[in-house]
Amino acid sequence: MDLFDNLVLGFSTALLVQNVLYCFVGVLLGTAVGVLPGIGPTATVAMLLPITFNFEPVTALIMLAGIYYGAQYGGSTTAILINLPGESSAAVTALDGHEMARQGRAGPALAAAAIGSFIAGTVATVVLAVAAPPLAAVALKFGPADYFALVLFGLIVSIALARGSALKALAMIALGILLGTVGQDIYTGTPRFVLGQRELYGGIDFVSVAVGMFGIAEILRNLENERDRPSVLDRVTSLWPTREDRRRIVGPIARGTGLGAALGVLPGGGHVLASFTSYAVEKRISKRRSEFGHGAIEGVAGPESANNAAAQTSFIPLLTLGLPAHPVMALMVGAFIVHGITPGPNVITDEPALVWGLIASMWIGNVLLVLLNLPLIGIWVRMLRIPYQVLFPMIVLFAVIGTYSLGSNEYDVYAIAFFGILGYVLIKCGCEPAPLLLGFVLGPLLEENLRRALIISRGDATVFLTRPISATLLALTVAALAIAAFPAIRKRREVVFAEED
């Protein structure tokens, strides 16, 4: 009965006119920006994040979630039509989706992606609603030592699922934690790494880091790799799959949904792992194995379903533990904090309308996504023909205006430029900025719980080993670090992320 009452509360909140309106706007904006080649969900959410900060908390989070869904769908659209995935999880879709487009079957590929995403999103939302309350109740039993071990475990596991070198991913996490310590000490108020700059006493602004590292840096990288659009854009005709197509996508959607719902809670890149695993499973069990890589519709429906299901269940660790499963969830943590809400187990009891309104809005957002994007596919195709040099200055302008409007401080604009250049340099050096953002967001939480645990234990560091929960998590952390360093695991990670080479 509690679940039913919570869902009633959630839908009564999510169905308010302003929340439905901003959910629709979020889906529309997310798709419009996410459909741009090379711009994935993380960059899209980062650039559109500032426009939500003047709203009520529940409205802002509902809009951000809509932007996330829209950006994911936009990324699959570019992957299918022009073979330019916005993120790693969409790269699997491009393998068969773009081949279908080249064969004149872009419409059925886009429809399979949309249908699979909707079904998976609906099921995963139910999983989220059922799983969140009991997990939050368990999380309330965590002490500072347990939280420290949990955050450390999440950061280390994210290394194993990061693209490229594990050592570089570890270095990016360390750099993110270091940037998170800038400002006044949380207990003594002593300035740290402020370099005599008054603006740094309050710490580095999260929005500036997010917009710079993921927005500006991605734009610079894509401008460098600008190339002509393939002629496949002229071949989008009927969107409705044939009866044979519909029969072939039922199984992949079901299996992809299950895999995505289970793997989405993993820190670092569960949605990426879900997409690749779904594709591998479908290829292994298919009777048409030779078609994979040459236009198999199962290779679109399965990974897209897994990706969308994982996107929904990645909210579970955010809402129950306050831990982001991947960079987009780290941006959501920033949105919570900006609105004065601390994500974690208490938020479900302290802000029930917000949490359950957000969960209910996920279903509404997925409905709007299907109703909006399939009829508007012609508009997205036309947008893909607009040159980068025209679109990206406009996006940068709106991102800068939105960030400046938060505090009317020109320092924030300089910070965006600095972190944009830093992010671009890191990308050129083969370092992904995603672990840096996770370290930046989780670093203060890591430090606070470390110092709190030591204060409570009067400096006795064995407190982390004498508590069963923290000792278990630390053992898993050491195991995860060792596994990520094994040569066989490193080789497997290189194979998984080889699609962008």
Query: For every residue of 78-96, which 3-state class applies, written as one string?
Result: HHHHHCCCCCHHHHHHHHH
pLDDT exceeding 90 applies to what percent of the chain? 14
What's this model's pTM, rounded to 2 decimal places?
Answer: 0.77
What does the alpha-carbon distance between residue 264 and residue 261 come to, in Å, rounded to a whole number?
Answer: 6
> Distance of alpha carbon 420 from its chain centroid, rounded?
19
Q: Which residues does 47 contact at the CB level (< 8 Å), separation at least 6?
A: 33, 211, 214, 215, 395, 398, 399
End-to-end CA distance of the chain: 51
Q: Are 403 and 50 in contact (CB under 8 A)?
A: yes
**Using N-to-C axis directions, what is the helix angle for 57-82 and 41-48, rounded to 10°?**
140
Per-residue pLDDT, averaged over 2-13, amounts to: 86
Q: Is 335 helix (H, G, I), strand (E, B) or coil?
A: helix
What does the alpha-carbon distance between residue 95 and residue 302 come to, in Å, rounded to a whole number?
Answer: 12
Considering only 107-111, 252-256, 273-277, which range has the smallest mean pLDDT?
273-277
Domain limits for position 232:
2-498
Which two structure tokens, joined as six digits, stand for 114?
Answer: 């949309």
Per-residue pLDDT, averaged over 80-99, amounts to: 76
Nearest of 163, 449, 211 to residue 334 by alpha carbon: 211
* Amino acid identity at 23: C
466-494 pLDDT, tens digit per residue, is 888 899 989 988 888 877 666 555 555 45
Count how many domains the chain has: 1
Reported as a pLDDT band with limits 50, 70 and 90, residue 1 is very low
What does the alpha-carbon distance between residue 361 and residue 353 come to, in Å, rounded to a whole number?
Answer: 11
Strands (E) across 108-213 are located at 183-184, 191-192
Q: Is 58 helix (H, G, I), strand (E, B) or coil?
A: helix
Reported as a pLDDT band with limits 50, 70 and 90, residue 234 is low
Reported as a pLDDT band with limits 50, 70 and 90, residue 499 is very low
Reported as a pLDDT band with limits 50, 70 and 90, residue 254 is very high
Higher pLDDT pick, 438 / 303: 303
Handedness of CA 38, 266, 110, 95 (dihedral sign): positive
Nearest of 157, 50, 246 to residue 484 by alpha carbon: 157
What does the alpha-carbon distance between residue 390 and residue 386 come to, in Å, rounded to a whole number?
Answer: 7
Per-residue pLDDT, averaged over 50-71, amounts to: 87
Considering only 32-46, 228-242, 251-265, 420-434, which range has the smallest mean pLDDT?
228-242
Per-residue pLDDT, averaged over 116-133, amounts to: 88
Considering only 18-32, 111-125, 221-235, which range has the smallest mean pLDDT?
221-235
pLDDT above 50 (res 361): yes
Per-residue pLDDT, averaged over 424-446, amounts to: 85
CA angle (315, 321, 324) in 5-degree steps: 50
Report the mean per-residue pLDDT for the chain: 82
pLDDT exceeding 70 applies to what percent of the chain? 88
Q: Which residues does 429 contact at the CB level (< 8 Å), separation at least 6?
A: none
* Amino acid identity at 105: R
Nearest of 7, 8, 34 to residue 372 by alpha carbon: 34
